[in-house]
Structure 1
Amino acid sequence: MPRPLCTRCQRPLAHCLCPLIPSLPSRASVLILQHPSEAGHALNTARLAALGLQRAELWVGECFEELAGVLDAHGTGARLLFPGEGARILMEPWPQTEQTSLLVVPDGTWRKARKLLYLNPRLAELPRVALPQGLQSRYRVRKAPVEGALSTIEAIVHALSVLDAPLRFDALLQPFDALIEGQIQAMGRDTYERNHALRDESSA
Structure 2
Amino acid sequence: MSRAQCPRCMRPQSHCLCELIPQLASRTRVLLLQHPSEVNHALNTARLAALGLTNAQLVVGEVFEDLATLLNPPGYRARLLFPGDDAQLIVADVVGEQDLPLLLVVPDGTWRKARKLLHLNPLLAQLPRVTLPEGAVSRYRLRKAPGPGALSTLEAIVQALEILEPATSFTPLLRSFEALIEGQIEAMGADTYLKNHGHKS
TM-score, L = length of structure 2: 0.93
Q: Quote the Cα distance in structure 2 between the aligned partners of 1:88 and 1:127.
A: 8
SS of residue paired to 1:78: strand
Larger helix share, 1 or 2: 1
Q: Quote the Cα distance in structure 2 between the aligned partners of 1:140 and 1:25.
A: 28
Paired amino acid for 1:31 = L
Q: Quote the Cα distance in structure 1 between the aligned partners of 2:199 and 2:70.
A: 46
- Structure 2 unaligned spans of 5+: none
Q: Quote the Cα distance in structure 1 between the aligned partners of 2:171 and 2:96.
A: 22
Q: Quote the Cα distance in structure 2 between the aligned partners of 1:95 and 1:67.
A: 26
Q: 1:93 corresponds to which residue?
A: 93
**CA-to-partner distance for each residue in 1:22-46, whole Å, 9 max, x for gaps?**
0000001000000101111110100
Q: Does structure 1 retain, via aligned residues, the 8 Å contact 2:75–2:100?
A: no
Q: 2:33 corresponds to which residue?
A: 33
**CA-to-partner distance for each residue in 1:60-92, whole Å, 9 max, x for gaps?**
001112220232335771100000011011132
Q: Does structure 2 retain, via aligned residues, the 8 Å contact 1:184–1:192?
A: yes
Q: Quote the Cα distance in structure 2 between the aligned partners of 1:141 and 1:109.
A: 14
Identity across matched positions, percent: 62
SS of residue paired to 2:172: helix
Q: Quote the Cα distance in structure 2 between the aligned partners of 1:198 and 1:72.
A: 45
Q: Quote the Cα distance in structure 1 between the aligned partners of 2:94 and 2:32.
A: 19
**Aligned ranges 1:161-180 → 2 under 5 Å:** 161-180=162-181
**CA-to-partner distance for each residue in 1:4-54, whole Å, 9 max, x for gaps?**
100000000000000000000000100000010111111010000000000
TM-score, L = length of structure 1: 0.92
SS of residue paired to 2:149: coil
Give the total of aligned pairs. 200
Q: 2:123 corresponds to which residue?
A: 122
Shift of the 174–95 alpha-carbon distance from structure 1 to 2, 3 Å rule, reads: same
Q: CA deviation at 1:142?
A: 2.5
Q: CA RMSD in A?
A: 1.6
Q: 1:111 corresponds to which residue?
A: 112
Q: Does structure 2 retain, via aligned residues, the 8 Å contact 1:86–1:128?
A: yes
1:6 aligns with 2:6: yes
User: Which moves more between the two structures, 134-143 or 63-72?
Assistant: 63-72
Q: Quote the Cα distance in structure 1 between the aligned partners of 2:73 and 2:14.
A: 41
Shift of the 117–194 alpha-carbon distance from structure 1 to 2, 3 Å rule, reads: closer
